[in-house]
Structure 1
Amino acid sequence: MTTDSPLRTQLRAALRSARRARDATAVAAIAGVLATLENAEAVPIDQAPSAGAIEGAPLGVGAADAARKVLTDAQEQQLFDVELAAWREAEETYRSAAPDRLPSTRHAIEVLEALRGG
């Protein structure tokens, strides 16, 4: 289960609004940031499960769930900035390689910049 940091709360609200508005570009940009945050919380698996060991499997809902890392607000903001930088890099690439993709890329950047606060 993820934590409800101020950034995630803001992103989830923006994602709901983008979905209601059927703004696919905004949905992709915001969902991408949320996925990055959740992936950063994953912990490495220490051991591979042994094949066929059903009788040793944990019982109950969530019994086999791994604990997640807890990110600080600063770490979340840093990951957000990395995602925004990736969109800006894509904009530079598309400027010469795929100009038809520039409008949607610029829109994604504008959405994320608004959520970032400029």
Structure 2
Amino acid sequence: MPRSNLKTALKARDRIAITALRSALAAIENAEAVPVDPPSPGAPKHEVTQNEHFAGSAAGLGAADVERRLLTEADLLSIVEKEVRERSDAAREYERLGRDDLAERLRAEAEVLSRHLKP
């Protein structure tokens, strides 16, 4: 969805599209992340390195790998809709504050993302 369009925007050097698509992809990646629960008391502790380059990180091959959540098409659309809504709301606020330049940029970003909502 947005990933293939990001490549096109990068080739065209379309800064507004690049910004909007990168932001939407980051929101999608955040939604795919599995929430981290604090360790329960008595749970086994993972080995932690003391190496100056990796201090405090989990040690061992794949020790920090966690499977990502799989999002449905409806989840993806919901995330993009939220991104559009946030930009539209912020544009109205910028306009109210007399910052028409920023409002116009956010409206343009919202338009780029809106194209992904249409079937």
TM-score, normalised with respect to structure 1? 0.76
How many angstroms does 1:64 deviate by? 2.3
C-alpha separation in 2, matches of 1:50 and 1:95? 52
Match of 1:67 in 2: 67
Equivalent positions of 1:1-118 (< 5 A) are 10-47=1-38, 53-54=48-49, 57-60=58-61, 62-97=62-97, 98-117=99-118
Instruction: Name the one with the larger helix percent.
Output: 1
What is the Cα-based RMSD across aligned positions, in Å? 2.6
1:52-104 CA distance string (max 9 Å, x none): 7339x5522x3420121111111111111111100110111111211121221
Structure 1 residues not aligned, in runs of 5+: 1-9
Aligned length: 107
Shift >6 Å, 4+ stretches: none
Structure 2 residues not aligned, in runs of 5+: 51-57
Match of 2:54 in 1: none
Task: Report which of the two structures shows the higher radius of gyration computed on alpha carbons.
Answer: 2
Letter in 1 for 2:48: A
Cα–Cα, structure 1 residues 50 and 91, in superposed 2: closer, same or farther, change >3 Å?
same
C-alpha separation in 2, matches of 1:47 and 1:95? 42
How many angstroms does 1:32 deviate by? 0.8
Give the secondary-structure state (helix, strand or coil) at the position aligned to 2:116: helix
C-alpha separation in 2, matches of 1:47 and 1:58? 19
Higher RCO structure, 1 or 2 (CA under 8 Å, sep 6+): 1
Aligned residues with identical type, % of pairs: 34
TM-score, normalised with respect to structure 2? 0.75
